[in-house]
């Protein structure tokens, strides 16, 4: 099947998929990546590339640094992919998980790289300064974990899959929730996420209020392709003013990722390409696995739909995916 016959979706991961060494292969192999990182350094006023390549990891994990780092890495992967495919492989829709929604809006032409980077810089600063709490991913259905969470002043942060729900709250509250959930579901152990706060919960309302004037002042255009909204679970209204309000609400409301995926499946997506980030213990970019792949494939297995998945997160997978989608 040629790319012209496919319904392609570009997706971008969120915070937690950063790692020290991220981008080292890209800047070695592709001048466009080096140029993008230099542009980012100039905009940010600090050496983002050095931080990504050398760490320290504790600094890279700070929200104010993680968000620009992941945005630049994801968009460097996108620019390399466009170069490798002569810009002939185009999506019909884009989506991103949490921070990744800003990358999706760049890919759809709504945000420029410069504007997106300025937005996520301020977003990360406000979330790190004014936010609080932590997050746990429970391998449980919303109906099982939601009533328990509310008993302990915790709330839903993301619905990633039907049986994977992220909960945010203060550390002591999450500990009490974990103990009660373990008593009821002893085989369902939660995973603590590598974030600096309880994102997409009421703990981010103050950060959102500080972020609103920055959003209001940002230049945006109507998207050239459809973009999925984490806040609603369905498509963004093409009106830039409406996109801004949904990005505002996204900061302190749950990410409806499973709804985003199901919307795409129902609309006939045949191919999904993930750009940027990486997970796993290996040190080198080629040792990393994609952040969203397992969620996407699990969602597909639980549906009546099928789609091909491709990673584009390092030099190797970028070349492989570019070749596969042009054959």
For 9-46, what is each residue's pLDDT tens digit?
999 999 989 999 999 999 999 999 999 999 999 999 99
Instruction: CATH 3.30.70.250 in the chain: give the residue spans.
Output: 134-192
SS3 68: helix
- Per-residue model confidence (pLDDT) at position 273: 98
Q: Are 325 and 86 in contact (CB under 8 A)?
A: no
Given the residues 24, 74, 98, 157, the one annotated as active site: 98
Q: Of these residues, 200, 203, 253, 256, which one is catalytic?
A: 200
Question: pLDDT by residue (tens digit) across 262-319?
Answer: 999 999 999 999 999 999 988 899 999 999 999 999 999 989 999 999 999 999 999 9
Predicted pLDDT at 195: 85
Identify whether 97 is a catalytic site residue: no
Q: What is the dihedral of CA 219, 224, 225, 230, to 10 degrees?
A: 10
Residues whose CB falls within 8 Å of the CB of residue 60, separated by 6 or more in sequence, listed in order = 18, 19, 20, 51, 52, 66, 69
Residues 6+ apart with CB under 8 A from 318: 77, 80, 81, 84, 312
Residue 135 β-bridge partners: 168
| C-alpha distance across the termini of the chain, in Å | 8
Find out whether 288 and 282 touch, Cβ atoms under 8 Å: yes
The model's pTM is 0.97
CATH architecture entry for 134-192: 2-Layer Sandwich (3.30)
303 annotated active-site: no
Domain 3-130+201-326 has CATH 3.40.366.10: yes
Location of each CATH 3.40.366.10 domain in the chain: 3-130+201-326
Whole-angstrom Cα distance, residue 32 to residue 205?
Answer: 37
Return averaged pLDDT per consecutive 10 residues of the chain, 327 residues in all. Answer: 77 95 98 98 97 96 97 98 97 98 98 98 97 96 97 98 97 97 96 91 98 98 98 98 98 98 97 97 94 97 94 98 94
């Amino acid at each position: 099947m040629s790319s012209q016959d496919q319904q392609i979706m570009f997706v971008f991961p969120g915070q937690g998929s950063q790692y020290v060494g991220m981008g080292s292969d890209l800047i070695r192999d592709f001048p466009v990546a080096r140029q993008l990182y230099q542009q980012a350094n100039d905009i940010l006023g600090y050496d983002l590339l050095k931080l990504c390549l050398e760490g320290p990891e504790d600094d890279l994990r700070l929200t104010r640094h993680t968000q620009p780092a992941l945005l630049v890495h994801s968009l460097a992967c996108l620019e390399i992919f466009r170069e490798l495919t002569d810009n002939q492989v185009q999506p019909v829709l884009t989506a991103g998980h949490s921070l990744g929604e800003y990358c999706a809006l760049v890919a759809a032409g709504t945000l420029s790289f410069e504007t997106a980077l300025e937005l996520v810089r301020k977003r990360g600063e406000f979330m790190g300064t004014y936010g609080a709490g932590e997050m746990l991913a429970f391998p449980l259905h919303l109906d099982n974990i939601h009533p328990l969470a509310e008993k302990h002043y915790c709330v839903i942060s993301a619905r990633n899959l039907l049986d994977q729900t992220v909960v945010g709250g203060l550390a002591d509250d999450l500990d009490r929730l974990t103990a009660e959930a373990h008593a009821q579901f002893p085989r369902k152990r939660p995973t603590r996420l590598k974030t600096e706060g309880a994102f997409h919960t009421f703990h981010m309302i103050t950060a959102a209020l500080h972020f609103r004037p920055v959003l209001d002042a940002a230049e945006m255009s109507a998207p050239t392709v459809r973009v999925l909204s984490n806040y609603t679970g369905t498509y963004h209204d093409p009106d830039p003013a409406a996109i801004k309000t949904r990005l505002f609400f996204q900061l302190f409301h749950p990410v409806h990722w499973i709804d985003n995926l199901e919307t795409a499946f129902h609309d006939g997506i045949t191919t999904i390409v993930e750009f940027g980030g990486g997970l796993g213990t290996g040190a080198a970019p080629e040792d990393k696995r994609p952040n969203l792949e397992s969620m996407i494939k699990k969602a597909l297995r639980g549906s009546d739909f099928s789609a091909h998945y491709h990673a584009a997160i390092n030099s190797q997978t970028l070349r492989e995916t570019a070749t596969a989608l042009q054959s």
